């Protein structure tokens, strides 16, 4: 299992520079908060790490490394790293239970989708009463639960 992800000197531009020379290292189990004013490039920096830059935005410098090895964001997305959106409910289909969402995510990552695996994963991250949570719909979840 990978132990750290690094962004080294990431710079992004459109018709003007948007993000200049951002670097950080995030080790397994750490939490990182990118702080700054609205429009300063926090979301773009995360998008660059995942290979999800919007049309018209390009990476002009820097690289992403996983355990010291250069990688492209699309290699990491879903299997190794993920982003928690500012509005977590926007990431969920309101017509599907949380169990359906969890199974879809597991299938996309090529992992087992049985209930025992889902329950064990939820218990591992400290969620209380995972069996009840899996039966809920996104609108029935607190913001903290939607963030995982």
Q: Which of 47, 76, 105 is the last residue of a domain?
A: 76
Return the pLDDT at 79: 65
Within this chain, do residues 70 and 118 fall inside the same structural domain, yes or no?
no
110 pLDDT higher than 70: yes
The total domain count for the chain is: 2
Residue range 111-139, pLDDT digits in tens: 888 889 899 988 888 888 999 999 999 88
Neighbouring C-alpha atoms within 13 Å toward the C-beta of 88: 17
- Give how far Cα 1 sits from Cα of 6, 71, 74, 114, 122, Å: 15, 15, 17, 22, 19
pTM across the whole model: 0.62
Looking up tokens 């995942």 gives 50
Q: Give the integer Cα–Cα distance in Å for 20 and 30.
A: 24
- The structure tokens listed for 143 are 């913001």
Within this chain, do residues 20 and 40 fall inside the same structural domain, yes or no?
yes
Residue range 8-57, pLDDT digits in tens: 999 999 999 999 999 999 998 888 888 888 889 998 998 898 888 999 99
Q: Is residue 35 within 8 Å of residue 24, measured between CB atoms?
A: no
Q: Is residue 11 within 8 Å of residue 21, measured between CB atoms?
A: yes
Looking up tokens 């397994």 gives 28
Within this chain, do residues 9 and 51 fall inside the same structural domain, yes or no?
yes
């Amino acid at each position: 299992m990978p132990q750290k992800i690094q962004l080294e000197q990431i710079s992004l531009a459109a018709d003007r520079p948007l993000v200049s020379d951002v670097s950080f290292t995030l080790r397994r189990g750490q939490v990182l908060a990118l702080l700054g004013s609205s429009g300063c490039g926090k979301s773009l920096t995360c998008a660059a790490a995942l290979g999800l830059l919007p049309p018209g935005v390009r990476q002009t410098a820097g690289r992403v490394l996983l355990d010291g090895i250069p990688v492209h964001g699309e290699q990491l997305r879903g299997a190794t790293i993920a982003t928690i959106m500012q509005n977590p409910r926007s990431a969920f289909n309101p017509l599907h239970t949380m169990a359906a969402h969890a199974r879809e995510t597991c299938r996309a990552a090529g992992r087992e989708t049985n209930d025992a695996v889902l329950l064990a994963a939820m218990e591992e991250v400290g969620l209380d009463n995972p069996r009840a949570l899996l039966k809920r719909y996104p609108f029935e979840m607190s913001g903290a639960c939607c963030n995982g």
